[in-house]
């Protein structure tokens, strides 16, 4: 199937000579949730801004829904909805007028039933006649999402959608994003909250210093790059890791009461059995054991600091 | 052509006018009325006729032009500057609208407001001064052409400005003096020869002269030259806007 977003050899050099993007190649599939992760200044917003037409590209080619964003900019942009990072909203307009304005701007005939649905889905219906300036920050964020959805886009960009919103609203938004995906909308989100990507994304892309360093299915990424950790709570304190265990990656906690064994998620699990057998042979007793997998956050931190 | 897009911008801007009716309509109408009272009725009654026209009536075209120029620039520059200032410009830049459509929406609304304002001022003037319009078609044509031209000029200022001060500088420091020295209150024939020549470098002279001709059939320069100069300025503004959108100047990095 043709990708919804296709980026080939994209580079961006700003007027002051700063190279924000270096030879980016990326394909985003129809109907997926793609999370773009990267530290501040990595080029996430520049990449989104180029695809949406806010920033000019320096070289390369970008297609949205099969349309070139420069030559066929009208058709390309009609398919895209953008929720930018900053809370940029009109102040004096009512919610209804602002959302209707966006629909018209994107070349769609008025359709009050759709605006009504979007506002209801985003719990904005009661506020439809309120001026935007009278709304809270979270409500303004919802208005921006409603504006982006007003023209029924096939592709939705969410640039840090839950920055500064409370936990409840964040959960609501996740729910809304899932529903949109179910209806066939392709969603690209950038986020600082790794748990957000972990919770929602189908695939993860990591961008560092203007380069895409990894694009991977989320579950595969977590299996491939994730670590597992086994912690054994000892019955008696140890002064050092016994010599018989030094072949394994085992560490002793500072207080001497915990043995910590780290291993790759993909690795066959024989190491754990071997470790426990050796402990039994040495007569080292343990009262409890715990295992945990590394989170996407730890994987991400590891990647961007490589 | 994205007609819905043009309509959305146009409606948005016209709604802004309704919200700020005190500032965009009442304020210029009141200040122009004060000119009519002071220069038209009070001082005008003691002034001699110019070109056989009562002084109060003589200054009407210039005063309407003053408001028209100031409001066209102000409406259009604010119209495009505010989205830049608030950040909502992202939506226009990411929308499937061409620059011609963006300009039609913003400048069309700004020019409409100016034409409405000009007609209100003309209607109000009837309460203070008796005047006739000899060539109504040309009067209205000048009104519309000037509104469009200076709204385009205002749009350029709005893109260029990176602060509220710059928005005010051009209308206050350049346009107002040019209007006052452009024959609003006098015929340039009344000036010494040297200043007559200097005045011909003032583009507003041509606007006021042509507009006055449409009212009374008298003008400082031939009406054809007035129309020509207005069209030259209109073309210059269009070229400026074409360049802005071609290069992305202060809009797209």
B136-193: pLDDT as tens digits: 999 999 999 999 999 999 999 999 998 889 888 888 888 888 888 888 888 888 888 8
**How far is C-alpha A294 from the chain's CA centre?**
17
Helix, strand or coil, per DSSP, at residue B50: strand
Residue B79 scores a pLDDT above 70: yes
pLDDT above 90 as % of chain B: 54
Among B244, B2, B236, B16, which Cα is nearest to B101's? Answer: B2
Structure tokens at A161: 């959608």
Domain residue spans of chain A: 5-222, 226-304
Contact B135, B214 (CB under 8 A): yes
Residue A149 scores a pLDDT above 90: yes
B21 vs A: CB within 8 A: no
Residue B241 scores a pLDDT above 90: yes
Return the pLDDT at B242: 94
Cβ contacts of B19 on chain A, cutoff 8 Å: 92
Residue B38 scores a pLDDT above 90: no
Q: Which H or E run contains B178? A: helix B176-180
* C-alpha distances out from residue A92 to A118, A132, B63, B88, B106, Å: 21, 6, 32, 13, 18
Residue B93 scores a pLDDT above 80: yes
Cβ contacts of B5 on chain A, cutoff 8 Å: 104-107
Return the pLDDT at A267: 64
B50 vs A: CB within 8 A: no
Q: When comparing pLDDT for A218 and A131, which is higher?
A: A131
pLDDT class for A160, splitting at 50, 70, 90? confident
- Closest residue in B to A99 (Cα) is B8
B181 vs A: CB within 8 A: no
Helix axes B203-216, B60-86, angle to 10 degrees: 130
Residue B35 scores a pLDDT above 80: yes
Residue A292 scores a pLDDT above 70: yes
Q: Secondary structure of chain B: what % helix, strand, coil (to 5)?
A: 75, 0, 20
Cβ contacts of A147 on chain B, cutoff 8 Å: 91
Q: How far apart are the first and last CA of chain A?
A: 34
User: How far is the alpha carbon of A214 from chain B, nearest alpha carbon, in Å?
Assistant: 27
Q: CA torsion angle for A42, A48, A51, A57 (degrees, to 10)?
A: -40
Q: Note which residues in 30-69 of chain A have CB less than 8 A from chain B.
A: 52-56
Identify the architecture of domain A226-304 in CATH. 2-Layer Sandwich (3.30)
- For the purposes of burial, counting CB atoms within 10 Å of the CB of B31, is it exposed (0-12), middle (13-18) or buried (19 or more)? middle
> Which of A53, A86, A104 faces B5 most closely, judged by CB atoms?
A104
Return the pLDDT at A265: 64
B137 vs A: CB within 8 A: no
Residue B21 scores a pLDDT above 90: no
Contact A21, A10 (CB under 8 A): yes
> Which of B2, B15, B252 faces A107 most closely, judged by CB atoms?
B2
Report pLDDT digits (tens) over A69-105.
Answer: 999 999 999 999 999 988 888 888 999 999 999 999 9
- CATH superfamily entry for domain A5-222: P-loop containing nucleotide triphosphate hydrolases (3.40.50.300)
User: How far is the alpha carbon of A295 from chain B, nearest alpha carbon, in Å?
Assistant: 35
Report pLDDT digits (tens) over B97-132.
Answer: 999 999 999 999 999 999 999 999 999 988 888 888
Q: CA torsion angle for A188, A145, A135, B10 (degrees, to 10)?
A: 130
Average pLDDT, chain B: 90
A93 vs B: CB within 8 A: yes
> Which of A89, A91, A106 faces B95 most closely, judged by CB atoms?
A106
User: Are domains A5-222 and A226-304 of this chain identical in fold?
Assistant: no
Helix, strand or coil, per DSSP, at residue B48: coil
* d(C-alpha A302, C-alpha B228), whole Å: 69
Contact B40, B158 (CB under 8 A): no
User: How far is the alpha carbon of B170 from chain A, nearest alpha carbon, in Å?
Assistant: 26
Cβ contacts of B252 on chain A, cutoff 8 Å: 54-56
Report pLDDT digits (tens) over A94-139.
Answer: 999 999 999 999 999 999 999 999 999 888 999 999 999 999 888 8
Domain residue spans of chain B: 3-247
Q: When comparing pLDDT for A211 and A268, which is higher?
A: A211
ipTM of the complex: 0.88
> Which of B12, B87, B94 faces A52 most closely, judged by CB atoms?
B94
Report pLDDT digits (tens) over A232-271.
Answer: 899 888 888 888 877 778 888 888 899 888 887 666 566 7
């Amino acid at each position: 199937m043709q990708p919804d977003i296709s980026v080939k050899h994209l580079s961006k050099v700003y007027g002051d000579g700063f190279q924000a993007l270096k030879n980016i190649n990326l394909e985003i599939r129809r109907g997926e949730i793609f999370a773009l992760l990267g530290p501040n200044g990595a080029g996430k917003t520049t990449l989104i801004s180029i695809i949406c037409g806010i920033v000019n590209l320096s070289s390369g080619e970008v297609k949205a829904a099969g349309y070139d964003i420069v030559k066929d900019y009208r058709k390309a942009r009609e398919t895209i909805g953008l929720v930018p990072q900053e809370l940029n909203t009109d102040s004096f307009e009512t919610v209804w007028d602002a959302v209707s304005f966006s629909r018209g701007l994107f070349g769609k005939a008025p359709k009050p039933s759709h605006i009504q649905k979007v506002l209801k889905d985003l719990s904005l219906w009661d506020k439809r006649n309120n001026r935007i300036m009278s709304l809270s920050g979270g409500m303004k964020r919802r208005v921006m999402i409603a504006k982006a959805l007003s023209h029924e886009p096939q592709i939705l960009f969410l640039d840090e959608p839950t920055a500064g919103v409370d936990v409840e609203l964040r959960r609501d938004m996740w729910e809304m994003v899932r529903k949109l995906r179910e209806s066939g909308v392709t969603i690209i989100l950038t986020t600082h909250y790794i748990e957000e990507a972990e919770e929602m994304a189908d695939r993860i892309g990591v961008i560092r210093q203007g380069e895409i360093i990894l694009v991977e299915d989320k579950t595969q990424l977590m299996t491939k790059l994730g670590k597992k950790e086994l912690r054994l709570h000892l019955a008696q304190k140890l002064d050092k890791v016994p010599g018989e265990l030094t072949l394994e990656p085992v560490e002793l906690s500072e207080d001497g009461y915990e043995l910590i064994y780290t291993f790759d998620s993909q690795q066959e699990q024989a190491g754990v059995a071997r470790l426990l057998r050796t402990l039994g042979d040495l007569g080292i007793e343990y009262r409890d054991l715990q295992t945990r997998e590394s989170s996407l956050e730890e994987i991400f931190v590891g990647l961007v600091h490589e | 052509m994205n007609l819905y897009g043009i309509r959305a911008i146009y409606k948005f801007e016209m709604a802004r006018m309704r919200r700020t009716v005190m500032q965009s309509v009442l304020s210029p109408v009141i200040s122009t009325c004060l000119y009519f009272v002071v220069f038209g009725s009070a001082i005008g009654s003691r002034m001699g006729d110019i070109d056989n026209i009562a002084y109060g009536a003589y200054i009407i075209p210039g005063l309407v032009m003053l408001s028209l120029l100031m409001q066209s620039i102000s409406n259009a520059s604010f119209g495009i500057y505010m989205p830049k200032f608030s950040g909502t410009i992202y939506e226009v830049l990411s929308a499937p609208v061409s620059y011609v459509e963006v300009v039609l929406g913003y400048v069309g609304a700004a020019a409409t407001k100016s034409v409405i304002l000009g007609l209100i001022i003309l209607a109000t003037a009837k309460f203070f001064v008796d005047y006739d319009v000899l060539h109504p078609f040309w009067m209205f044509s000048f009104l519309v052409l000037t509104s469009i031209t200076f709204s385009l000029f205002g749009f350029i200022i709005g893109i260029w400005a990176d602060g509220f001060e710059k928005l005010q500088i051009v209308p206050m420091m350049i346009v107002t003096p040019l209007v006052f020295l452009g024959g609003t209150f006098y015929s340039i024939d009344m000036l010494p020869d040297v200043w007559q020549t200097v005045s011909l470098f003032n583009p507003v002279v041509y606007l006021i002269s042509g507009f006055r001709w449409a009212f009374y059939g008298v003008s400082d320069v031939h009406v054809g030259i007035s129309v020509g100069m207005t069209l030259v300025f209109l073309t210059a503004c269009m070229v400026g806007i074409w360049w802005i959108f071609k290069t992305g100047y202060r809009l797209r990095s």
